[in-house]
């Protein structure tokens, strides 16, 4: 299958809590990217972590990458209702091709 795996498939939390999503991929990568998609809309790029990096922060986002395990995690701290969306990881391989994970549907309850 072209797709990587993400877990959980769905996550429901209360506003203010942290949300953690995990992603696994299958091949060697140039970088690992995380995207957000609101229902029926296009994708918004959140953060990119290169294959030689282990951790990266951007605002309330923290991404880790473990190339030995071919896995990555996205942590959203102090979540807000507006963070409700689907989150996808995407592994970039040669030629800028992206292979997307199955996605996590995050619901943040006010």
Partner 1 sequence: GAVVSQHPSWVICKSGTSVKIECRSLDFQATTMFWYRQFPKQSLMLMATSNEGSKATYEQGVEKDKFLINHASLTLSTLTVTSAHPEDSSFYICSAPQGAPQETQYFGPGTRLLVL
Residue ranges binding partner 1 (CB under 8 A): 2-3, 30-31, 33, 35, 40-45, 48, 50, 88, 92, 95-103
If the CB atoms of residues 15 and 102 are measured against partner 1, the closer one turns out to be: 102
Q: How far apart are CA 30 and CA 72, in angstroms?
A: 13
If the CB atoms of residues 65 and 103 are measured against partner 1, the closer one turns out to be: 103
Q: How far apart are CA 24 and CA 4, in angstroms?
A: 6
Beta carbon of residue 44, minimum distance to partner 1 (angstroms, whole number):
8
If the CB atoms of residues 15 and 105 are measured against partner 1, the closer one turns out to be: 105
Beta carbon of residue 52, minimum distance to partner 1 (angstroms, whole number):
11
Token digits of residue 73: 């995690």
If the CB atoms of residues 2 and 68 are measured against partner 1, the closer one turns out to be: 2
Beta carbon of residue 16, minimum distance to partner 1 (angstroms, whole number):
27
Strand blocks (E) in the chain: 5-7, 10-14, 19-24, 31-37, 43-50, 55-58, 61-66, 71-76, 85-92, 98-100, 104-109
**What's the length of the chain?**
110
């Amino acid at each position: 299958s072209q797709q990587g795996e993400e877990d959980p498939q769905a996550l429901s939390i209360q506003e203010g809590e942290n949300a953690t999503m995990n992603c696994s991929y299958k091949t060697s990568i140039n970088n690992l990217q995380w995207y957000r998609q609101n229902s029926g809309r296009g994708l918004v790029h959140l953060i990119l972590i290169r294959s030689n990096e282990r951790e990266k922060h951007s605002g309330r986002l923290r991404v880790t990458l473990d190339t030995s395990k071919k896995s990555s995690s996205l942590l959203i701290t102090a979540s807000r209702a507006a963070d409700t969306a689907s989150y996808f990881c995407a592994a970039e391989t040669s030629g800028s091709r992206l292979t997307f994970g199955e996605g996590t549907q995050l619901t943040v309850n006010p």
